[in-house]
Amino acid sequence: MKIAITSTGTTLGSTIDPRFGRAAYFVIYDIEKKSFEICPNTNKEAMEGAGPASVQFVAEKGVEKIVSGEFGVKVKDLLDSLKIQMIAIKDHSKTVQEIIDMLNQNK
Amino acid sequence: MFIIFVMHKCSKMRYRKRRHRKLLSPPVIKGFIPYGKNINTENQDLVSMLCEEYEAIKLCDYDMLTHLEASALMGVSRPTFTRIYSSARQKIALAISEGRHLIIEGGKVYYDSQWFHCKDCDAFFTNPNDIVDITCALCASSNVSKVQDEESVSLK
């Protein structure tokens, strides 16, 4: 199962990005293979519609869960119909590595 | 003069955007086909029922809600709901009295999601696959509760 985590930087030690649509980077983590891929968000500077464009990007990667700080209204509706699980974390000081560790313990 | 003014106005005005309808869950079937003798189904058109119309029938006649309650669930006004409902009834009547196929598809809809809160890791998450035995998506803790008021999550 693949999980997308929004990240502020290019390393696993970076903190999570509280925004989904305009997140700096997406870390696509594969739980079974324990591999990850860091993708820059090309929609970061978009005037509008950054959320839906980001949804399309991560949906093409085949993720089933998204970990971020918050999700916009447009994004929420889209992800609901795509049946992608949203996980919103209020503690924005968590790093991507911490999230991955938690997800691994989960399995 | 007045007509020119109105036409000028109208050309600039956009039509009102139709609000998307909220569905609690997708329809359980894709449609119905008639059976029996004397039905020539090949040269008859299908009756296409929108997902929102299916939901209106379900809320009103299966869940026995009033139009007002059902309209709040679908995120539309009561008169709009009544319009959707009557259109749904007309389509069902058309399908059964003319022996046509009834297809449930389309419509601008989105699915309602319910948020859950994990008390151990303070994360909010949704349950898109309708799992009954809910555990936290992040830490797998079973110490989770339903978020009653979505606004309180401030997930805007």
Please count the residues of chain A: 107
Q: Do B124 and A90 touch (CB under 8 A)?
A: yes
Report the alpha-carbon distance of residue A5 to residue A100 in Å, rounded. 9
Does A79 reach chain B within 8 Å, measured CB to CB?
A: yes
B138–A99: do the CB atoms touch at under 8 Å? yes
User: Considering the entire predicted model, what is its pTM?
Assistant: 0.57
Please compute the mean of the pLDDT values over residues B126-139 and round it to a whole number: 73
> What is the Cα–Cα distance from B67 to B86, expressed in whole angstroms?
11
Q: Which of B111, B127, B140 sits opposite A106 (nearest CB)?
A: B140
Chain A nearest CA to B23, separation (Å): 10
Burial of residue B84, with CB atoms counted within 10 A of its CB: 0-12 exposed, 13-18 middle, 19 or more buried: buried
The answer to whether residue A93 neighbours chain B at the CB level (below 8 Å) is no
Residues in chain B: 156
SS3 of residue A81 by DSSP: helix
What is the ipTM metric for this complex?
0.76
Q: How far apart are CA A79 and CA A87, in angstroms?
A: 11
Lowest mean pLDDT among A22-31, A81-90, B78-87, B116-125: B116-125
Contact between residue A44 and residue A50 where contact means Cβ atoms under 8 Å apart = yes
Identify the pLDDT of residue A81. Answer: 78
How close are the terminal C-alpha atoms of chain A, in Å? 11
> Looking at residue B155, what is its pLDDT?
41
Out of A78-87, A93-102, B15-24, B77-86, give the one with best mean pLDDT: B77-86
CA distance A97 to B99: 60
Taking contacts as CB-CB distances below 8 angstroms, the residues of chain B near A70 are: 154-156
Sheet containing B47-49: which strands, arranged edge to edge?
A: B31-32, B102-104, B47-49
Question: From the list B109, B122, B137, which residue is nearest A91 (CB)?
Answer: B122
What DSSP assignment string belongs to B82-121? HHHHHHHHHHHHHHHHHT--EEE---SEEE---EEEETTT
Residues of A whose CB is below 8 A from B126: 79-80, 85-86
Mutate to test the interface with B, among A3, A89, A103, A105 (most CBs of B within 10 A): A89
- CA-atom Rg of chain B in angstroms: 22
